[in-house]
Amino acid sequence: MIRTLAAASVSIVLSASALVAHHSISVNFDTTKAFDVTGIVREVKIRNPHSQIVLDVTNPDGTMKEWFIEWNDKNAMVRRKVAFERLKVGDKITVNVNPNRTENNVGFFRTATLPDGFVLRDCGFTAFREAVANQTDITC
């Protein structure tokens, strides 16, 4: 009985650690670095639990590289009034990303400059919490 309880406890702790690591931006992406990726939007998936933008990027040598830009969940972005509906398949955009720690064609969304010059951003949870506390609208 004690072994079973101990094994169950260890299993719960390890499962919780894996879940936190899976959802942690700083574990998967280097938040001390950022750079721009410019390409043509092939896909936009605003969804839960993670959103994703797929870009076709032309390398300096003329070859194409597929880039995957991960982003927050749809529910959070709707609450924070992120204008993600402005992302259109076929548009050429520049996305500022934090690079993935292991994959060289994956980044985490910071901002996107759209063809009309609009800078799409997600103000984040802190700005959302402050707007709720102050009973004001959040604007990014």
- For residue 94, pLDDT over 70 is answered with yes
Question: Is the residue at 22 inside a domain?
Answer: no
Question: Is the residue at 12 inside a domain?
Answer: no
Q: pLDDT, tens digit, for every residue of 14-70?
A: 444 444 444 578 899 999 999 999 999 999 999 999 999 999 999 999 999 999 999
- Domain with 83, as residue range(s), is 31-133
Question: Is the residue at 21 inside a domain?
Answer: no
Count of H-run helices and E-run strands, the chain: 4, 6
Alpha helices in the chain (DSSP H): 2-23, 25-28, 74-79, 124-133
Question: Is the residue at 87 inside a domain?
Answer: yes
Task: Give Rg (Cα) of the chain.
Answer: 18
pTM (2 decimals)?
Answer: 0.77
Question: Is the residue at 119 inside a domain?
Answer: yes
Q: pLDDT, tens digit, for every residue of 98-137?
A: 999 999 999 999 999 999 999 998 877 777 778 888 888 7
Question: Number of folded domains in the chain?
Answer: 1
Question: Is the residue at 49 inside a domain?
Answer: yes
CATH number, residue 70: 2.40.50.140
The neighbour count for residue 54, using CB atoms within 10 Å, is 16
Q: pLDDT, tens digit, for every residue of 95-104?
A: 999 999 999 9
